[in-house]
Amino acid sequence: MKILFYDVQSYDYEPFQKANEKFPEISMHYIETPITPQTAALARGYDGVCAFVNSDLSEPVLQALHEIGINLLLLRCAGFNNLDIDAAKKLEITVLRVPAYSPETIAEHAITLALCANRKIHKAYIRVRENNFTLTGLTGVDFYRSTAGIIGTGKIGAAMCRICHGFGMKILTYDVAPNPAIADLVTYCGLDELLHKSDLISIHCPLTKDTYHMIDKTSIEKMKDGVILVNTSRGGLIKTDDLIAGIRSRKIGAVGLDVYEEESRNVYENREDDILESSVTARLLSFPNVALTSHQGFFTEEALTNIAETTLQNAEAFRTGMELKNEIYL
């Protein structure tokens, strides 16, 4: 079985090569080229392709893959909001993903962003490097005995709840499907109540038609003054213009973002010498109370290993006709 990997970064090679030792019947070829309707032709002669979280998996791309006989799409990620599910179904392309490579990895990054934004660690680091040892403007607030609002209590959200519990926080949660595994740690409530009572709000839900821009002007107005907002899920969950307005009005006290709208041109690219086309990134970076990272929440050795192993397990299951446990049901 031959698999072509698109959008490959340097850190992908080692974990996949190591995982490949367990699956000798799978041959892998890596290219840094992003997948597009034009570059899909590079997969001619392969049995499947592997894409990442920022890959374009729209209908034109899937159609181009279908025309050269590709009927297996492996996602080396959990999210699939970049996938045209209806097109995949119509073209009979099997899509397999990595649903839970390391929930704690993402949750740990979320609390890191929360702490960084709250205690202004990103500002303090730069100051000290420039021999400025003043503390003016670096005041934060205690998490101990404050209230954390966790939106989405799947595996990542549940891990975040456990971390917040360790900080001595009261935890309010909102999810359409409550998680019994954390019932003794949290209090489920309506979204409006969570927004109104939480000192820290962390988002851990998928991006769907129903959750798109769930954080907007209306929801921000319901939040506490000085609230800390963290998003490590998908950028489209927050309406960025409304977020910026909330920061400027000082309704929002601090923000930690690993994802944001219009990030696709920037993610995993070195653009230090470029003029950014979108003003979103520049505006977010202009605020001293915003801590921004480039979709690195997944980026630990353990998570990379789990991603590689699960991706190849998915390919092996497809090759051998075994149960496809990680199929995206269409």
Q: CB neighbours (10 Å) of residue 251?
A: 16
Give the torsion sign (CA, 215, 221, 224, 227).
positive
**Could you say which DSSP state residue 201 is in?**
E
In-domain check, residue 240:
yes
- Which of the following is catalytic: 295, 301, 316, 327? 295
pLDDT of residue 98: 95
Structural domain including 164 reads: 103-292
Pair 141, 230 in one domain: yes
pLDDT of residue 285: 85
Pair 78, 183 in one domain: no
Q: Report d(CA 108, CA 117) in Å as an integer.
A: 14
In-domain check, residue 327:
no
In-domain check, residue 330:
no
In-domain check, residue 45:
yes
DSSP line for 170-187 = EEEEE-SS--GGGTTT-E
pLDDT tens track of the chain, all 330 residues?
Answer: 999 999 999 999 999 999 999 999 999 999 999 999 999 999 999 999 999 988 999 999 999 999 999 999 999 998 888 899 999 999 999 999 998 888 999 999 999 999 999 999 999 999 999 999 999 999 999 999 999 999 999 999 999 999 999 999 999 999 999 999 999 999 999 999 999 999 999 999 999 999 999 999 999 999 999 999 999 999 999 999 999 999 999 999 999 999 988 766 666 667 677 776 667 778 888 899 999 998 899 999 999 999 999 999 999 999 999 999 999 975
Pair 124, 153 in one domain: yes
Q: Is there a contact between 203 and 259 (Cβ–Cβ < 8 Å)?
A: no
Q: Report d(CA 213, CA 128) in Å as an integer.
A: 37
- Which of the following is catalytic: 66, 97, 204, 234? 234
Q: Report d(CA 54, CA 77) in Å as an integer.
A: 10
Pair 139, 261 in one domain: yes
Q: Please name the helix (run of DSSP H) or strand (run of DSSP E) that holds residue 266, with its range, or none.
A: none
Pair 156, 206 in one domain: yes
Pair 109, 119 in one domain: yes
Pair 123, 223 in one domain: yes
Q: Active site includes 234?
A: yes
In-domain check, residue 244:
yes
Q: CB neighbours (10 Å) of residue 80?
A: 20
Q: Is there a contact between 307 and 103 (Cβ–Cβ < 8 Å)?
A: no
Close Cβ partners of 243 (under 8 Å, ≥ 6 residues apart): 215, 220, 229, 252, 255
Pair 257, 314 in one domain: no
Residue of 313, 310, 306 whose CA lies nearest to 1 = 313
End-to-end CA distance of the chain: 24
Pair 95, 109 in one domain: no
Close Cβ partners of 6 (under 8 Å, ≥ 6 residues apart): 31, 33, 34, 35, 39, 49, 50, 51, 52, 55
Pair 282, 313 in one domain: no
Pair 73, 210 in one domain: no
pLDDT of residue 266: 63
3-state secondary structure of 164: helix
Q: Active site includes 263?
A: yes
Q: Report d(CA 177, CA 155) in Å as an integer.
A: 12
In-domain check, residue 306:
yes
Sheet containing 48-51, strands listed edge to edge, beginning at the edge strand earlier in sequence: 27-30, 2-5, 48-51, 72-75, 94-96
In-domain check, residue 329:
no
pLDDT of residue 34: 94
Q: Report d(CA 68, CA 43) in Å as an integer.
A: 8
Q: Report d(CA 191, CA 196) in Å as an integer.
A: 9
Phi, then psi, of 148 in degrees rounded to 5? -100, 135
| Two tokens, residue 312 | 């190849």
**Could you say which DSSP state residue 327 is in?**
B
**Could you say which DSSP state residue 236 is in?**
G
Pair 126, 261 in one domain: yes
Residue of 28, 92, 156, 17 whose CA lies nearest to 327 = 92
CATH of the domain at 223: 3.40.50.720
Q: Give the distance from CA 26 to its chain's centroid.
A: 28
- Give the tens place of pLDDT for each residue, 38-58: 999 999 999 999 999 889 999
Q: Which residues sit opposite 48 in a β-bridge?
A: 3
In-domain check, residue 192:
yes
pTM: 0.89
Number of domains, the chain: 2
pLDDT of residue 81: 85
